[in-house]
Amino acid sequence: MSDSIYDIPVKTIDGQETTLAPYRGKALLIVNVASKCGFTPQYEGLEKLYKKYSDKGLEILGFPCNQFGSQEPGNEDEIRSFCSLNYGVTFPMFAKVDVNGPSEHPLYTFLKAHKGGILGFDAIKWNFSKFLVDRDGNVIARYAPTTTPASLEADLEKALG
């Protein structure tokens, strides 16, 4: 497992190989997202947070995931189009990932190792689970899918300093 969140390889929704290094020095809200989930309307709240805090150093990173009820069946082009047309998403989106199991993306291995779940249950329970990472790359909070983006404002402001 990587020692730094910034060294973990990721792929953008456009298929570009990169790492999270471009986000060094920013607070990150990392969310596994899906287009056909009961929590999908959270895209709207996430976009509002992004518009409000991006100039203060917040990045919201969306990682589509199809592991929960096949709620993200589309390919990257379909996902990008859905997010743009339905929710006006402008925050960075990435290629589809698995967040649990044998094909789990290294980013989620890292996040879960640094912020386990309730009662020691580390697995991601559903889409729209959220992790807050401070400007130094430390995973400082983990939120359930039911936690609304608006309810995160106080924690975001603290992470942004």
- pLDDT for 122: 81
- pLDDT for 121: 65
- pLDDT for 98: 97
- pLDDT for 115: 74
- pLDDT for 157: 95
| CATH for 13 | 3.40.30.10
Structural domain range at position 32 = 5-160
- The 8-class DSSP code of residue 43 comes to H
The one catalytic residue in 10, 37, 97, 124 is: 37
How would you classify residue 118: left for phi > 0, otherwise alpha for psi between -120 and 50, otherwise beta?
A: beta
Is 37 one of the catalytic residues? Answer: yes
- pLDDT for 114: 82
Pairwise CA distance, residues 13 & 78, whole Å: 10
Q: What is the mean pLDDT of each run of 10 residues along the chain (161 residues)?
A: 89 96 97 95 96 97 96 94 94 97 95 74 89 96 95 96 89
Contact 65, 97 (CB under 8 A): yes
For residue 20, the surrounding DSSP H or E stretch is none
The string of DSSP letters for 97-152 reads -B-SSTTB-HHHHHHHHHS--GGG--S--STT-EEEE-TTS-EEEEE-TTS-GGGG
Contact 95, 15 (CB under 8 A): yes
Report the domain count for the chain: 1
- pLDDT for 118: 60
